[in-house]
Amino acid sequence: MQEKYDHTATEKTAHQYWERTAAFKAVEDASKPKYYCLSMFPYPSGKLHMGHVRNYTIGDVLTRFHKMRGYNVMQPMGWDAFGLPAENAAIANKVPPAQWTDENIAYMKLQLKSLGFAIDWSRELATCKPDYYKWNQWLFLRMLEKGIAYKKTQTVNWDPVDQTVLANEQVIDGRGWRTGAVVEKREIPGYYLAITQYADELLNDLDTLDQWPERVRLMQANWIGKSTGVRFAFPHQIKDDAGALIDDGKLWVFTTRADTIMGVTFCAVAAEHPLATHAAQNNPELAAFIEKCKHGSVMEADMATMEKEGLPTGLFVTHPLTGEQIEVWVGNYVLMSYGDGAVMAVPAHDERDFGFAKKYNLPIKPVVMPGGLSLKTDATPVQPGEDASAIRPLEHLWAHSWNVGFGMHGELINSGKYNGLNYEQAIDAIAADLAAKGLGEKKVQWRLRDWGVSRQRYWGCPIPIIHCDDCGSVPVPDDQLPVVLPTDCVPDGSGNPLHKRPDFLNVACPCCGKPARRETDTMDTFVDSSWYYARFATPGNDQAMVDERVNYWLPVDQYIGGIEHAILHLLYSRFWTKVMGDLGLVSYREPFKRLLTQGMVLNHLFSRRSDKTGIEWFAPEEVVLQKDEAGRVTGATALRDGNPVDYGGFGTMSKSKRNGVDPQSMMEQYGADTARFFMMFAAPPEQTLEWSDAGIEGSYRFLKRIWAFGHVFATTIQPQLPGQRKLGNAKLPENLASLRREIHLLLKQANYDLGKQQFNTVASSTMKMLNALEKAPRLIDQNGGIAAEVIEEGLGILLRVLSPLTPHITHTLWAELGYAKSADESILDAAWPEPLDAALVQDEIELVLQILGKTRGSVKVPAGADNAAIEALAVVSEIAQKFMEGKPAKKVIVVPGRLVNIVV
């Protein structure tokens, strides 16, 4: 074998072998447990970034590990290929998005191949291809039939110059990003998917996802936002100009605290509420305020700090239980989009209402005595630590905003017939009374909204609808699917280019046959990514969305991706799965059994602030770091002018901050194995990873040492191997037994860590194995062939444990050093190593010796010794005698295999 490590040659050899043997082709096989390992598919933006490399390396390590463990593994890859960046690139380069996308896919595929990922490329898919998106359209039509998809008007950002709809991120300070024109809000029709029909199941099934990170489940639960309460109405006689009762004479509100209804002193409605609109007609001040509220809501950042403001409408509604007249206010803190756009206000028990009431001098009426407080003779509560003789009226307590009531449950007071009831009793009684009057009932309110999927965009999956003047919006018949998107359009930024394509637009109505128009809206790209993992299981089927194979491979056993998809993508995919399940297409209810959210890749940030140009960012290779004598970074100077730049610590790699590292140049210089190893070694997978050039060098050094040891093995150890092997359970001389034990202990640790998906310590274990083996060759002089056998076994273990991380170098060494049993066998076919009990046993074990809980040293005891024997040995040991200072042992704690603690 070659003496020096040549990563280019090594990687080429391995790639050719995998290609030639179709090593990663996955075929259904009922005789083996299956393992479907999936990394979130990339958007073909042009080239891979380090986040991709990290993501796919994690997936590949798991894939290869399971393959060697005997699982039937499948790791596919595809392209999330529709989306806005392709349109933007088209505008900039005057190239059709399809062409740009295809070119990017071709390049990125090469990059993925050069990283050596064990991907079954025969299952590759791109969401922009008709054979994929046909099934988006097909399922959309099924949803339409079941009432899960429906049409309603939606508000969009409209650029009046470009005549186009803008995504939220394309609106900058209220203006279009390209034209600078003031963006208008427009109401246009669009299609929605009723994800809220599945809200309950989506929430409840989170409990079954016990192999998901807790925080992701929490984020989803918050997003779904279930709250149970009572929806009820305040009757009124307020009429509009035509003389009709506004909202049928009922102001509906939702509350989770129906027990405090008797404490309502006013109501607040959103600026867009019909009552507000009505009241503003003859009230310029109110009209101005409402206008301000509507505009204010655009600026997200101000929302958080915004002061609670309001104005009275002068309108009154009737309290449904007391009959009192309740004034209606417009409040800037009431959202039209949540519930009914109106709230009851109970200042005594809600912090926000309280602040509002204090500001505008509205009455505060306490109706709940918080639990845990006792009452004084005048029925006021005693504060913890307060002198019980102090007499204060109830109102005084709240007027001083002593927070005894906000959000707390307790017994009702000041509430007439409900006095004395607790939280649950009060809600039941009040809900019953409201129901009897036809003015309310218990209700569950969700934060989750239906999913608007219409996008007024060209580069997406066409929505399969035809608009006919006579028949209305008609679904495209199944036999006319797919509705194919023309791929030769070049968007220029003004409007949807499909509008200029008569060949696409003009079509006969499927109902009546008259000329009609095709829908030009396309689907949200989240639709594309909501089921691609299922299609991977059934490649090549042009007759059905999925087939029986889907129930073999799915659910995905391990899904890996960024935390940024914790909510939308994962929630939509779960929803889509449930819909597919209800249509009888799949037999599982959750798509992803186990989820790993990998951390981001960070790098140093360098910048310089100048008055003229603002912030200028420096790439790490453009600066020189300054360090103090301890090696701590104290500052940096620019290479180009020698002047200082600001060091901003670590931040996520980004184009704009110029701190990204290009995987391509990395791989050319050091190779894929080094990149992969560093990624795995530098941090546990879920944590952020700090890029380090020195760390890369270190990983490279390790691989060079592995290779060098392989060379030593081939030249000096292998020739010593006896023809007849006798290692097995053989009794070895202590120096060999100890080396062998060390390797097997490290293997045990590595297997344990792999189970935990803690790959950084797996990498550590392989380094420790090499450290041990490098010292071993001299053992041959004393022990001959048997030592060579121990080393051979150790290196074989090391290569296999390392192989999921650095598959190329281990592939080559495995073959070159004679580990492969035949020419068509590679390390991938080797069984994963397991530690041998025979290698782990030892005659004597060393226990930690503590006196009074303080570690003082260690004591050697025979391996089989029982607690009493260990105790006896420990007490008479030299160290124990020294530290016990002649005092008798009061108690001795023996933790088998670990330590002895003597208490005196």
Residue numbers in the known binding site for ATP are 655
Q: Is the peptide bond before 366 cis (omega within 30 degrees of 0)?
A: no
- Closest CB to RNA among residues 728, 886: 886
Backbone dihedral angles phi then psi of residue 205, each to the nearest 5 degrees: -70, -10
Minimum Å gap between C-beta 796 and RNA is 20
Phi, psi angle pair for 843, to nearest 5°: -70, -40
Q: What is the DSSP letter of 791?
A: H
Looking at 473-481, 495-503, 727-735, 768-776, which segment touches RNA (CB under 7 A)? 768-776
Q: How far is the C-alpha of 34 from the C-alpha of 75, rounded, in Å?
A: 11
Stretch that binds RNA, among 255-263, 482-490, 531-539, 577-585 (CB under 7 A): 255-263
The region of 469-477, 504-512, 675-683, 719-727 touching RNA under the rule CB under 7 A is 675-683
Tell me whether strands 368-370 and 342-345 are parallel, antiparallel or unpaired. Answer: unpaired
Report the binding-site residues: 655
Q: From the CB of 183, what's the least distance to RNA, in Å?
A: 21
Sign of CA pseudo-dihedral 309, 311, 313, 315 = positive
- Nearest approach in angstroms of CB 402 to RNA is 16
Residue 767 interacting with RNA (CB under 7 A): yes
Cβ of residue 898: shortest distance to RNA, in angstroms?
4
Task: Provide the minimum distance between the beta carbon of 338 and RNA in the complex, in angstroms, as a whole number.
Answer: 3
Least Cα distance to 651 among 600, 685, 598, 597 occurs for: 600
Name the one range near RNA by CB under 7 A: 133-141, 603-611, 761-769, 788-796: 761-769
Report CA 801 to chain centroid distance, whole Å: 28
Number of residues that bind RNA (CB under 7 A): 87
By CB under 7 A, name the one of 16, 256, 587, 867 that touches RNA: 256
List binders of RNA among 612-631 (CB under 7 A): 627, 629-631
Among 758, 796, 825, 840, indicate the residue that binds RNA (CB under 7 A).
Answer: 758
Q: x/- site string to RNA, residues 416 to 455, per CB under 7 A?
A: -----------------------------x-x--------
CB of 622 to RNA, least distance (A): 20
Instruction: Give yes or no for a contact between 285 and 371, defined as CB atoms under 8 angstroms apart.
Output: no
Tokens, residue 716: 């000096």
Name residues contacting RNA, limited to 697-756 (CB under 7 A): 697-698, 701-702, 704-705, 752-753, 756
| CA separation for the pair 666, 679 (Å, rounded) | 12
Our finding on whether 682 is near RNA (CB under 7 A) is: yes
Q: Is 32 helix (H, G, I), strand (E, B) or coil?
A: coil
Question: What is the arrangement of strands in the sheet containing 325-331, beginning at the earlier edge strand?
Answer: 310-318, 325-331, 266-269, 342-345
CB of 519 or CB of 753, closer to RNA: 753
Write out the binding residues for RNA, residues 347-366 only, by CB under 7 A: 350, 352
Shortest CB 775 distance to RNA, Å: 8
Closest to RNA by CB, 165 vs 230, is: 230
CB of 254 to RNA, least distance (A): 5
CA angle 828, 833, 835 (to 5 degrees): 175
> Residues with Cβ < 8 Å from 614, sequence gap 6 or more?
none
Q: Which of 30, 242, 436, 694 binds RNA (CB under 7 A)?
A: 694
Q: Which residue has the tokens 């001040």?
A: 285
Using the minimum distance from each CB to RNA, give the nearer residue, 649 or 728.
Answer: 649
Contact between 842 and RNA by CB under 7 A: the answer reads no
DSSP 324: -
What end-to-end distance do the CA atoms of the chain give, in Å?
Answer: 63
Tokens of 223: 């997003």
- Separation in Å, CA 121 to CA 63, 322, 706: 14, 71, 30
Cβ nearer to RNA, comparing 242 with 630:
630
What gap in Å lies between CA 231 and CA 257, rounded to an integer? 10
Q: Does 229 bind RNA (CB under 7 A)?
A: yes
Residues 135-164 that bind RNA (CB under 7 A): none
Shortest distance, position 690 Cβ to RNA, whole Å? 5
Query: In the window 186-225, what residues touch RNA (CB under 7 A)?
Result: 214-215, 218-219, 222-223, 225
* Choice between 207 and 307, CB closer to RNA: 307
Per the document, the length of the chain is 904
SS3 495: coil
HSE value, Cβ hemisphere, 13 Å, CA-based, for 388 = 6
Write out the binding residues for RNA, residues 383-422 only, by CB under 7 A. Answer: none
Q: Among all chains, which residue has been given the structure tokens 């160290």?
A: 879
Q: Of residues 470, 843, 846, 866, which one binds RNA by CB under 7 A?
A: 846
Q: Which is nearer to RNA, 285 or 628 (CB)?
A: 628
Interface with RNA in residues 864-893 (CB under 7 A): 891, 893
H helices of 272-363, in order, are: 274-280, 284-296, 300-305, 351-360
**226 beta partners:** 446
- Helix boundaries (H) for 583-651: none
Question: Closest distance between RNA and the C-beta of residue 469, in Å?
Answer: 39
d(C-alpha 623, C-alpha 709), whole Å:
37
Residue with smaller CB distance to RNA, 379 or 893: 893
Closest to RNA by CB, 62 or 264 = 264
Q: Which of 270, 595, 636, 873 binds RNA (CB under 7 A)?
A: 270
161 within 8 A of 179, measured Cβ to Cβ: yes
**Piece in contact with RNA (CB under 7 A), picked from 232-240, 421-429, 580-588, 688-696:** 688-696
Which window, 66-74, 112-120, 682-690, 710-718, contacts RNA (CB under 7 A)? 682-690
- How far apart are alpha carbons 477 and 141 in whole angstroms? 9
- In the complex with RNA, the residue whose CB is nearer, 214 or 781, is 214
Told to check if 855 binds RNA by CB under 7 A, we report yes
778 near RNA, rule: CB under 7 A: no
Instruction: Tell me the β-bridge partners of 34.
Output: 72
- Smallest distance from the beta carbon of 341 to RNA, in angstroms? 6
Q: Nearer to RNA by C-beta: 182 or 303?
A: 303
Q: How far is the CB of 40 from RNA (least distance, A)?
A: 17
Binds RNA (CB under 7 A): choice among 20, 400, 632, 731 = 632
Exactly one of 644, 695, 777, 796 binds RNA (CB under 7 A); which one?
695
Tokens of 310: 């309001």
Residues 555 to 614 in contact with RNA, rule: CB under 7 A = 563, 567
Query: By CB under 7 A, what part of segment 292-321 binds RNA?
Result: 303-304, 306-309
**CB 699 → RNA: shortest distance, Å?**
7
- Output the smallest distance, CB 353 to RNA, in A: 8
Interface residue with RNA among 235, 620, 648, 684 (CB under 7 A) is 684
Q: Which of 244, 208, 168, 205 is nearest to 455 (CA)?
A: 168
Query: By the 8 A CB rule, do 816 and 710 touch?
Result: yes
Determine, following the binding rule CB under 7 A, whether residue 544 of this chain makes contact with RNA.
no
Instruction: Report the C-alpha gap between 349 and 369 in whole angstroms.
Output: 10
State the Cα–Cα distance between residues 70 and 83, nearest whole angstrom: 39
**505 or 879: whose CB is closer to RNA?**
879
- Other C-beta atoms lying within 10 Å of the C-beta of residue 515: 10
- The number of beta carbons lying within 10 Å of the beta carbon of residue 689 is 26
Write the DSSP symbol of residue 806.
S
In whole angstroms, what is the distance from residue 2 CA to residue 321 CA?
A: 91
Q: How far is the CB of 764 from RNA (least distance, A)?
A: 4
Q: How far apart are CA 219 and CA 234, in angstroms?
A: 34
Q: Which is nearer to RNA, 67 or 217 (CB)?
A: 217
